[in-house]
Amino acid sequence: MATNGRLNRKLRMGIVGGGQGSFIGRVHVTAAVLDNRAALVAGAFSSDPERSKASAADYDVCDDRAYGSYAEMFEKERALPEGERIDYVSVATPNHMHFPVAKAAVEAGFHVVCDKPLTLTLAEAEELAEVVRNSASVFVVTHNYTGYPLVRQAREMILSGELGEIQAIRSEYIQGWLRTRLEGEGQKQASWRTDPKRSGAAGAFGDIGTHAYNLGRYMTGLFPEKISANLKAFVPDRPLDDYGQAVIRYENGGLGSVTASQISHGRENDLRIQIDGTLASLEWHQENPNQLFVRKNGHPHAIYTRDPNAPFTNVMGQAACRLPAGHPEAFFEAFANVYRCGFDAMEQAICGDAFERTDTVYPNIHDGVEGMYFIEQAVASSQADAAWLPLKHPLARR
Ligand code: NAD
């Protein structure tokens, strides 16, 4: 039953992925339940049916809703009464499974929260976008860094003109964990990320370069025009890039750069972005996410802290906070903010209300397609000696 466009019940979640030994599935579940608006009730946790069933207990999912495959989950959940079946599916598998799972979920009438990159290929992403367009499903893509309160604060500051015209974006995502050939030792996360059949056309650029690119797009709204890229695998016998740099021209004449590395000694998840406007510049680091640096020539440097009660905190920043200032919020909370905005849309959809599909606070199918275009054009440019290639996709968010 609906009340005032909001459900008076929790949303029911089914997950694909997140089995024992995996990484991001557990984060999806934690983020989804953080605000007490959803419960995990079903899952196809692994490609191995036995492991899937064994994983269910870790999430308190009962045996009869621990499925051997995603196809079985969709079929059996569809057959349940409307008041019991899952409302949405979270996709936390390696990249090559995003398309078949997400497409089948939308076709079965479920809402979807899909991890990035959206699919294995751009063609799949475009096909998926068409399926979503012809459906009544909410589709969320977990570019989770967009959920940080100070990222949203910065976005509102930029979109309202506080920084003036944006002329430069420098974003980078620097890691070091693939410095050695970890995939040769059978490490699960390294194995599929360095395999083109499961990862896609790019390695580091697809895995983390897309996050860095998405963050710049999300925070500034600048529309891209062209890209020139150099990608390289420095570790011998690795078929996909573990380091790359791209230069981007934006439609307004602005310039951007994206650097992604998985081979930099000692670097963890160092996603950082610097944005220059004609009136001010700003800088944000995900490893220090509760501070935003804003600078203006001739003025003392300002550090905005994540503070829901401060007069300098804008509406977007405040809406993304849960705790008072000084109690650090980080990865889980930001991930949960992406879910929270997706849940608002799902509740509207379930209540029969219209919901926004393009200009959403959460990253959506358009951002997902754009991410795939970024990957494929960066790879194509690199293969053509850093040739300038178009980066405007007709489905990109305007
Ligand atoms: P992982 O290898 O740790 O986990 C993948 C899980 O999917 C495993 O449990 C595996 O058994 C399961 N799986 C594989 N095929 C399946 C199938 N057919 N049916 C059901 N389950 C299946 O990988 P990970 O590091 O958690 O990454 C998963 C996805 O999340 C990737 O697309 C990755 O790019 C993305 N990711 C996003 C973030 C982020 O910050 N948004 C961080 C890490 C990973």
pTM (2 d.p.):
0.97
In this structure, is residue 335 part of a structural domain?
no
Q: What is the DSSP-derived secondary structure letter of residue 15?
A: E
How many domains is the chain partitioned into structurally? 2
Are both 94 and 197 inside the same structural domain? no
The mean of the pLDDT values for the chain is 97
In a domain, 337, yes or no: no
For position 398, what pLDDT does the model report?
A: 87
Give residues (CB < 6 A) around ligand 1.
16-19, 22-25, 44-47, 70, 92-95, 97, 115-116, 142, 144, 188-189, 192, 207
Residue nearest to atom 12 of ligand 1 (CA): 17
Ligand 1: distance of its center to the CA of 18 in Å? 7
Residues 321, 174 share a domain = yes
Residue closest by Cα to atom 16 of ligand 1: 47
User: Is the pLDDT assigned to residue 6 strictly greater than 80?
Assistant: no
| pLDDT tens-place string over residues 122-159 | 999 999 999 999 999 999 999 999 999 999 999 999 99
Tell me, yes or no, whether 101 and 162 share the same domain: no
Same structural domain, 275 and 293? yes
How many CB atoms sit inside 10 A of residue 287's CB?
Answer: 11
Are both 253 and 359 inside the same structural domain? no
63, 56 Cβ separation under 8 angstroms: yes
Q: Tell me: do 177 and 247 sit in the same domain.
A: yes
Which residue's alpha carbon is at the smallest distance from atom 5 of ligand 1? 93
Query: What does the alpha-carbon distance between residue 391 and residue 226 come to, in Å, rounded to a whole number?
Result: 5
Residues 193 and 294 placed together within one structural domain of the fold: yes
Same domain, 315 and 248: yes
Q: What pLDDT digit, counting tens, does each position of 293-307 carry? A: 999 999 999 999 999
In a shared domain, residues 306 and 359: no
> Is 141 contained in some domain?
yes
207/195 same-domain check: yes
Has residue 201 been placed in a domain?
yes
Q: What is the Cα–Cα distance from 361 to 338, expressed in whole angstroms?
A: 8
DSSP 8-state assignment for residue 128: H
Residue 336 lies in a domain: no
Do 168 and 115 share a structural domain?
A: no
Residue 398 domain-assigned?
no
Assign 2 a pLDDT band (cuts: 50, 70, 90): very low
Contacts of 384 (CB under 8 A, 6+ apart): none
Is 395 inside a domain boundary? Answer: no
Domain harbouring 213, CATH code = 3.30.360.10
- Confidence band for 61, pLDDT divided at 50, 70 and 90: very high
| Same domain, yes or no: 125 and 193 | no
The beta strand positions in the chain, using DSSP E, are 2-3, 6-7, 11-17, 38-44, 88-92, 111-114, 139-141, 166-174, 224-232, 243-250, 255-261, 270-277, 281-285, 291-295, 302-305, 389-390
Q: How many CB atoms lie within 10 A of CB 324?
A: 10
CATH of the domain at 81: 3.40.50.720
- Nearest CA-CA partner of 312 in 183, 201, 153, 129: 153
Cβ(364)–Cβ(139) below 8 Å: yes
**Length of the chain, please?**
398
User: Quick check: is 31 in a domain?
Assistant: yes
Q: Which of 175, 264, 244, 142 is nearest to 203 (CA)?
A: 244
Matching residue, tokens 């990865």: 331
Structural domain for 259, as ranges: 147-329+368-390
Which residue is associated with the tokens 């370069």?
A: 209
Distance 308 CA to ligand 1 centre (A): 33
Whether the per-residue pLDDT at 1 is higher than 60: the answer is: no
